[in-house]
Amino acid sequence: MTILSQIRFLIPEIIVSAGALTALVANALLESKERIQTPYVVLVSFATALLTLVILAADAPQKLLWGTYMFDAYAVYFKGFFLVLGTVIALLAVHTPSISSLQSGGEFASLLGFSIVGAMVAASAGDFITMVVAVETVSMLGYVLAGFTRTRLSREAAVKYVLYGAFSTAISLFGISMIFWATGQLEFKQLSAVVQISPYKQFVFAGLIIFLTGLFFKAAAVPFHMWSPDVYQGSPTLVTAYFSVGPKAAAFAVIGRVLLDGFARRTMSVDWIVPPGIDWPIVIAVISALTMTVGNLSALLQKDLKRMLAYSSIAHAGYMLAGFAAKNVIGTSGVLYYLGAYLLMNLGAFFVVLAVEETGKGTHLDSIRGLGWTSPLAGATMAIFLLSLTGIPPFAGFVGKLVVFGAVVKSKLYWLAVLGVLNSVISLGYYGLMLKKIYLERSDEQVILPRVYSPVLVALAALTVFLGICFNPLIEYTAHGAKLLGVLF
């Protein structure tokens, strides 16, 4: 296959990049009153790229650009995930006064667009170099987005994010250097074959753990989560909603690709086999247990909604890591499904908080008091999102946890499955507290949802219920994507 014929699989990224660049230039050239329309350019580019991706998906899997870029079902799933995320965030940015009032809508949409491109490339990364460039693109643009509104808290969040982000990147690069020294390989699919015969397995394993430490920072996994609550609280709420899903999903896409393509081998008859001396599943299991437990227990103590949802986000990272620890197709498929459900329910919860904040009530826990009575739509959709985050049927979050914990049981990690169920029960403490504020307490202050918020919240809530009932097609597709990981082609 010629280079030009391979480039066509990069068309979705090219379309979004062109849209982001156009919005940035237009924002500089147009008058301030006209700039509010520039995010629609990026919005159209997201929709066009998504349509193009669906067309190209029929030709997957493809190994492109000398193995540095993978276009398979795993990558297609994540690319679609990021494009849907970008579409929703860009749409609400136009109708969120705290963002649109800055007369910099084009800049915001452009930063978002390039960040989405970085996440899309990360999902397709076939080697460490492509992966580092993609992940750092997401991170560096995130630093700017965190400080976008230039308030004191926003600037503080940006500085903290930069410091922690730079630290995690340095750690990851050191781990990669150790792996490369011990194996001489940077391409993931070739790495697993070399690791089997390497005489330096102890250095490879040490390098992998150091590398994963940097990614755990990006995913806000314990004990590398310290930055997350402060950055989430200080950033603009719309940006926080993006942070809670986008960079986290990019980190999980890379973790799955590296562990299962680079440090495991799969045949058509068995699940993944880990090379002797590279026992990464137990490390992932321990981090998963710590992450879900610390996240949930810390959330119980919070009085600010953004900090509470930040710790909730940490706990959900722990649930998803459990799927990778299972090292079987069901677990990896569960992680992908869980991410799709998480996109819907976590974004929806943050959007309700954003809508309340835009009325001037702030983000304190008491700001949602009586929301179910003053704004029935916001209250009802928030209840759906919270119940789904808890893992109660018939919502998507329940199916995600069921699949992940089932995979953990299949791999005989019974202690991790029990801990996951117990943490779900603990999470009901703070999710239930929010529901109590919404329906069992009264407030005379009316909450009027911005025009676009109502259909977006309804759509997210409806999909959360739909995926909790009609879950089979998505689970089958995610299983199809997972099966190709760790297979040479």
Does residue 362 belong to any structural domain of this protein? yes
As given in the structure block, the two tokens for residue 18 are 């062109």
| CA–CA dist 411, 195 (Å, integer) | 23
Q: Which residues contact 405 (CB under 8 A, 6 or more apart)?
A: 322, 417, 420, 421
CA angle 231, 392, 298 (to 5 degrees): 30
Does residue 401 belong to any structural domain of this protein? yes
As given in the structure block, the two tokens for residue 208 are 């992998």
> 3-state DSSP call for residue 471?
coil
154 and 235 in contact (C-beta within 8 Å)?
A: yes
Does residue 391 belong to any structural domain of this protein? yes
Does residue 406 belong to any structural domain of this protein? yes
In 10 A of CB 173, how many CB atoms? 15
The DSSP 8-state label assigned to residue 357 in this structure reads I
Does residue 468 belong to any structural domain of this protein? yes
| Helix pair 396-410, 414-439: axis angle to 10 deg | 170
| CA–CA dist 73, 487 (Å, integer) | 13
Q: Which region holds residue 184: left if phi is over 0, alpha if psi is between -120 and 50, else beta?
A: left
Q: Which residues contact 12 (CB under 8 A, 6 or more apart)?
A: 49, 50, 52, 53, 56, 79, 83, 120
Instruction: Tell me which residue of 263, 324, 327, 329 sits closest to 291, measured CA to CA.
Output: 324
Residue with tokens 């983000």: 363
Structural domain total, the chain: 1
Does residue 396 belong to any structural domain of this protein? yes
- Per-residue pLDDT at 35: 66
- Per-residue pLDDT at 36: 67
Does residue 395 belong to any structural domain of this protein? yes
Please list the rounded mean pLDDT of every run of 10 residues in the chain (489 residues).
80 94 83 72 92 89 83 92 93 78 74 94 92 93 87 85 89 93 87 80 90 90 87 89 92 93 78 83 94 94 91 94 92 94 94 86 85 89 94 93 94 94 94 92 76 89 94 91 76
Terminal CA-CA length for the chain: 14
- Per-residue pLDDT at 451: 78
- Per-residue pLDDT at 33: 65
- Per-residue pLDDT at 421: 95
Q: Which residues contact 39 (CB under 8 A, 6 or more apart)?
A: 23, 90, 93, 94, 105, 106, 108, 109
- Per-residue pLDDT at 147: 87
Q: Cβ-count burial of 373 within 10 angstroms (0-12 exposed, 13-18 middle, 19+ buried)?
A: middle
Q: Output the furthest CA–CA distance in the chain (Å, rounded).
A: 70
The parent domain of residue 356 ranges over 279-489
> 3-state DSSP call for residue 2?
coil
Pairing of strands 62-64, 69-71: antiparallel
Does residue 322 belong to any structural domain of this protein? yes
- Per-residue pLDDT at 269: 65
Q: What is the pTM of this model?
A: 0.94
